[in-house]
Structure 1
Amino acid sequence: MGDKADLKLILSGIIIVEIIKRTVGKLILLTTAAHVGSMQHSHAALSAYLIKLSIINIVSLIVVIPQNLPCSVTLQPGPEDTGKACGVDFEIRAFCAKTMEEKNHKRNSVRLVIRKVQYAPEKPGPQPMVETTRSFLMSDRSLHLEASLDKELYYHGEPISVNVHVTNNSTKTVKRVKISVRQYADICLFSTAQYKCPVAQIEADDQVASSSTFCKVYTLTPTLNNNREKRGLALDGKLKHEDTNLASSTIVKDVSNKEVLGVLVSYRVKIKLVVSRGGDVSVELPFVLMQPKPTDSTLLHSTSAAPMLDPPIDTNLIEFDTKQDFLNMNKAH
């Protein structure tokens, strides 16, 4: 079942609702819903409030967003770039028409920009681990690198712990250890392209001599604050001028689906050992960076830290019109 957008319209005539996806400047019509005929007052309290304002016609439509669509993503513009940033966003358009074939015009339509977001899964995947062994020319002795993360799923702003274990049985010396967190953005349009951008990195002068072992935990925290000047960095879609963060990892069940057009984001940690006289050794660990799923309490308007002196009252679709107001209005009549 796809995501739903419940849209309440105060219009008359034939109501047509469209969901539009903007993919790097290209408009794609995703779905359309229409209401033809008599208007139904499906919400008593809301209807009473609108009747009080002499607004009679009320329409309630549910628009189903197709599955497997990418999330709202914006590519960060450069310091000298102007105009609208490239990326993927969604908007709902609603307009009145006399016939189903009539095209919408600005004078009889409204639009609402929305975001499609994904939250972190309740059950994260297994702990990422990787190892590799490197043999060198004219030597039967090898260099073994093993790396792991403390977990597979991270929330934005959370530090990432990288455990590095080196067993150097070779005759070479490890001179430095480089660790970087990289963002990969797959641009899936009529042709595909992939862009990678480091969002956090460490270069340590930790040396591992021949016939010795080394073990250390490195900590990196990828954030947008340290990457605001990087052109083309994928960010989570935002509304108006509010701040955002690095783009969340994209979870797509069926990558081959033709509906998946947009920016698909993934992250990896790269560990590189700089070895004397060449022959560097490196491995990569994929991980997931996402927002936590909101709890029921965070979705309610009563999340203020101030104590509630009175019991909560239910609200309808008009936030400032409560059931208590509705009862008082009926008493007045």
Structure 2
Amino acid sequence: MVFNFRVYKKQSPNGKLTLYLGKRDFVDYISAVEAIDGVVVIDNEYKDRKIFGQIVCSFRYGREEDEVMGLNFQKDLYLTSQQVYPLSKTAETTKLQDRLMNKLGPNCYPFTFTLPPSAPSSVILQPGPEDDGKPCGVHYYVKLFVGETDTDRTHKRSTVSMAIRKVQYAPSKQGRQPCTVVRKDFMMSPGELELEVTLDKQVYHHSEQIAVNICVRNNSNKVVKKIKAMVQQGVDVVLFQNGQYRTTVAHLETQEGCPINPGSNLQKIIYLLPLLSSNIDRRGIALDGQLKKQDTNLASTTLLTSPDQRDAFGIIVSYAVKVKLYLGALGGELAAELPFVLMHQKPSAKGRLVQADSQMDVETFRQDTVDPDIDSEKFE
């Protein structure tokens, strides 16, 4: 029986430290965050030195090209820090760590980091077409370095860091079906206009169409001339008091079934599909945190245990469907709004170790498209 598994590998510039991770996406389960486990291979020349490890949450809240006259629009938060070598005590190891230590030899040492549940998710804000430098948002790094204490100034030649992501997946159970009814009466005329909006479910996955069921009951003497439905992404940059804004990421305007005359009703379904490909050049749209040169998508909804658990370095993302009825210049408009959840479906639990037949050829996964300094190795 042969076990095939692949890991991410990165070396320090002087080649004395080599970092191995089994994956780069770590799941936030709301109540706890998946442990970050890996190993480090230490060169014999560094066996008399101390090695420290840290998880760095880097929050960039301004453009890199605007950093002049000593300004710095980036804050680094060290979420956890510990000594990796020499080990202060024997810790429990995972299967991945055990296999890597058996494969890489006696200079291989395990480490495990735990993120706090309140740590913000990996989110970036899409830069404009003319913007250069690192995008604004929340980034995570695993960092290993040589020093006497964990507060020492690190040297680039003996430091290795690898980008990771903190992600959330859609809940397995659907919530209550979103539905709302709004009414509008008019001062100088009798009757009222009623708009009912219903979504077919509460939780949607990326690249899934959203079915918006619209029912209009016109008991007024006004005429509905057109209908507009849109998906709006709400972004709340917690660090700033006025850091909330909304962006339309999908919309559809129609006059089908219009005008809706007094005493008439209309019921129809409008389908909306929010995609990054439709908003590729729009600055400020929130995206899921990405690893270098890797495709991403619109940011997933941020799930919180309570509204009070809003980290100051976080970016809170939400989505809502908004439907508007236009009544003309004098009649105004009537709008209804429904929040929903947009997230990735939780992948099937296949584990990190893949049991394969010895005759089966498992393709080696190269990470050159992600980071030119990171390789992926296959062990048997």
Instruction: Output the TM-score relative to the length of structure 2.
Output: 0.76
1:284 aligns with 2:320: no
Alignment CA distance shift 1:118-1:310 (3 Å): same
The structural deviation recorded for 1:279 is: 2.8
1:136 maps to which of 186, 199, 224:
186
Alignment CA distance shift 1:283-1:34 (3 Å): same
Aligned to 1:26: 75
Q: Is the 1:3–1:67 Cα contact (8 Å) retained in structure 2?
A: no
Aligned to 1:321: 379
Greater mean deviation of Cα atoms: 68-77 or 219-228: 68-77
Aligned to 1:2: 33
Distance 2:321 2:150 in 1: 52
Instruction: Output the TM-score relative to the length of structure 1.
Output: 0.86
Distance 1:90 1:101 in 2: 19
Distance 1:36 1:301 in 2: 26
Aligned to 1:46: 100
- Give the RMSD, CA atoms, in angstroms: 2.5
Unaligned runs of 5+ in 2: 1-31, 61-73, 363-375
Alignment CA distance shift 1:46-1:204 (3 Å): closer
1:222 aligns with 2:274: yes
1:238 aligns with 2:287: no
Aligned to 1:256: 308
The structural deviation recorded for 1:266 is: 0.4
What is the percent sequence identity of the aligned residues? Answer: 38
1:49 alignment partner, SS class: helix
Q: Is the 1:177–1:274 Cα contact (8 Å) retained in structure 2?
A: yes
The structural deviation recorded for 1:36 is: 4.9
1:188 aligns with 2:241: no
Q: Is the 2:143–2:162 Cα contact (8 Å) retained in structure 1?
A: yes
Distance 2:108 2:121 in 1: 31
1:84 aligns with 2:120: no
Distance 1:193 1:209 in 2: 41
Alignment CA distance shift 1:145-1:99 (3 Å): closer
The structural deviation recorded for 1:114 is: 0.3
Q: Is the 1:235–1:244 Cα contact (8 Å) retained in structure 2?
A: yes
Distance 1:132 1:280 in 2: 12
Q: Which amino acid aligns with 2:39?
A: K
Asked which structure has the greater RCO (Cα within 8 Å, sep 6+), the reply is: 2
Q: Is the 1:23–1:261 Cα contact (8 Å) retained in structure 2?
A: yes
Greater mean deviation of Cα atoms: 264-273 or 95-104: 95-104
1:164 aligns with 2:214: yes
Alignment CA distance shift 1:164-1:190 (3 Å): closer
The structural deviation recorded for 1:190 is: 5.0
Q: Which amino acid aligns with 1:68?
A: S
1:174 alignment partner, SS class: coil
The structural deviation recorded for 1:69 is: 1.9
Q: Which amino acid aligns with 2:378?
A: F
Alignment CA distance shift 1:151-1:111 (3 Å): same
1:126 alignment partner, SS class: coil
1:47 alignment partner, SS class: helix
Q: Is the 2:81–2:150 Cα contact (8 Å) retained in structure 1?
A: no
Superposed counterparts of 1:45-84, under 5 Å: 45-51=99-105, 56-84=106-134
Q: Which amino acid aligns with 1:194?
A: Q
Give CA-to-partner distance per residue, 1:235-282, whole Å, 9 cap, x none. Answer: 111101011100111001133236352211000010000013223100
Distance 1:300 1:21 in 2: 25
2:198 maps to which of 137, 142, 148:
148
Q: Is the 1:14–1:100 Cα contact (8 Å) retained in structure 2?
A: no
Pairs aligned (count): 310
Aligned to 1:197: 247
Distance 1:130 1:5 in 2: 42
